[in-house]
């Protein structure tokens, strides 16, 4: 006769079935952890849809994921838009370029634009401006060359380790095809990084002469129209840069000139994505017949 106090396995299948049932319920209520980037993106989208992540946080985390999928070629400033300094030019000719573009770092070439011999930091130059016989060659820092196929997450790591902020991009044949900065990479994560002059509460239009002004590309068209008593269209564009890019049919380049409504606009500072500074001059009005003979 079997021992009534002995342990048998009869109730265990019921317990196992119950445990399995609750495991399935838990898996439905709590999905498995994502195992790839698409899964992570799906979780982020769900968190954003349920207001767990606000729009800015969602964009930043998504940008960090996308950095690993992008290469330098996706974001670099192209060769034709690079602001380079010629080592053969005297300092008096280089200074207007340095001040108008507003960059903090400049690749410097010798002889040919493909022959980059160094990088000049504007802050290094400012410390020696009193030396009129200065040879800027002594201030150059070694250039960093990278292939256009380098992934952005790898480049960001290299920038942080080397404390370098600019790299010259070369193609498969060794020719210069562009440049990229740490700011360019970080903007893929956090969005556009504006400098202290881009503060919405700061002035964006500055008088430079009796009939000339300097305006930031980020100047709101409404503010510009009010300041100059003109009627630049503001239905499709918010800023001068957006309006000018549409008028030109491309991203404004340094040195380009455009006339509209009695004003001449000259791009004096630009990067690969927008016009940063514009020189604005009011065109001389043609006197009327009454004025000529009155």
pLDDT of residue 195: 52
Distance CA 125, CA 104 (A): 10
Q: How confident is the model at residue 285 (pLDDT cuts 50, 70, 90)?
A: low
Secondary structure (H, E, C), 12-81: HHHHHHHHHHHHHHHHHHCCCCCCCHHHHHHHHHHHHHCCCCCHHHHHHHHHHHHHCCCEHHHHCEEHHH
Find the range with the poorest average confidence among 119-123, 260-264, 265-269.
265-269
pLDDT digits (tens, 9 = 90+) for 254-265: 778 889 999 999
Q: Tell me what the pLDDT averaged over the chain comes to.
A: 77
245 contacts 232 by C-beta, under 8 angstroms: no
Mean pLDDT of 215-243: 88
120 exposure class (CB count in 10 Å sphere: 0-12, 13-18, 19+): buried
pLDDT digits (tens, 9 = 90+) for 48-77: 777 766 666 766 776 677 777 788 998 888
Find the range with the poorest average confidence among 22-36, 53-67, 132-146, 250-264.
22-36
pLDDT of residue 262: 92
Residue 210 confidence (pLDDT) above 90: no
Find the range with the poorest average confidence among 45-54, 80-89, 109-118, 180-189.
45-54
192 exposure class (CB count in 10 Å sphere: 0-12, 13-18, 19+): exposed
Residue 30 confidence (pLDDT) above 70: no
Phi, psi values for residue 220, rounded to 5°: -65, 135
Domains of the chain: 37-69 (no CATH), 73-190 (3.10.580.10), 196-282 (3.30.465.10)
Q: How confident is the model at residue 294 (pLDDT cuts 50, 70, 90)?
A: very low
Reading phi first (left if > 0) and then psi (alpha if -120 to 50, else beta), residue 66 is in alpha
pTM to 2 decimal places: 0.54
Scored b (16 or more CB within 10 A) or e, 234-262 reads eeebebbbbbbbeeeeebbebebeeeeee
Give the SS3 label for residue 236: coil
Nearest-5° Cα angle at 224, 56 to 96: 90
Length of the chain: 294
Share of the chain above pLDDT 70, in %: 71
């Amino acid at each position: 006769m079997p021992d009534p106090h002995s342990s048998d396995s009869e109730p265990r299948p019921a317990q196992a079935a119950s445990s399995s049932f609750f495991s399935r319920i838990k898996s439905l209520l709590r999905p498995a952890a994502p195992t790839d980037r698409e899964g992570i993106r799906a979780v982020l989208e769900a968190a954003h849809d349920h207001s767990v992540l606000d729009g800015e946080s969602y964009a930043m985390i998504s940008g960090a994921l996308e950095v690993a999928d992008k290469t330098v070629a996706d974001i670099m400033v192209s060769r034709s838009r690079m602001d380079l300094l010629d080592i053969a030019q005297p300092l008096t000719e280089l200074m207007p370029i340095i001040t108008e573009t507003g960059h903090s770092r400049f690749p410097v070439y010798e002889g040919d634009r493909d022959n980059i011999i160094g990088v000049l930091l504007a802050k290094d130059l400012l410390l020696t401006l009193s030396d009129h016989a200065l040879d800027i060659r002594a201030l150059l820092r070694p250039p960093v060359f990278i292939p256009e196929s380098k992934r952005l997450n790898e480049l960001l790591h290299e920038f942080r380790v080397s404390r370098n902020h600019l790299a010259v991009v070369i193609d498969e044949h060794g020719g210069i095809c562009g440049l990229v900065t740490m700011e360019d990479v970080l903007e893929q994560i956090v969005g556009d990084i504006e400098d202290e002059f881009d503060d919405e509460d700061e002035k964006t239009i500055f008088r430079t002469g009796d009939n000339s002004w300097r305006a930031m590309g980020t100047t709101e068209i409404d503010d510009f129209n009010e300041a100059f008593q003109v009627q630049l269209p503001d239905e499709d564009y918010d800023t001068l840069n957006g309006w000018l890019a549409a008028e030109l049919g491309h991203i404004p380049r340094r040195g380009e000139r455009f006339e509209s409504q009695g004003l001449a606009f000259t791009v004096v500072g630009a990067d690969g994505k927008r016009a940063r500074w514009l020189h604005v001059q009011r065109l001389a009005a043609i006197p009327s017949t009454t004025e000529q003979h009155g």
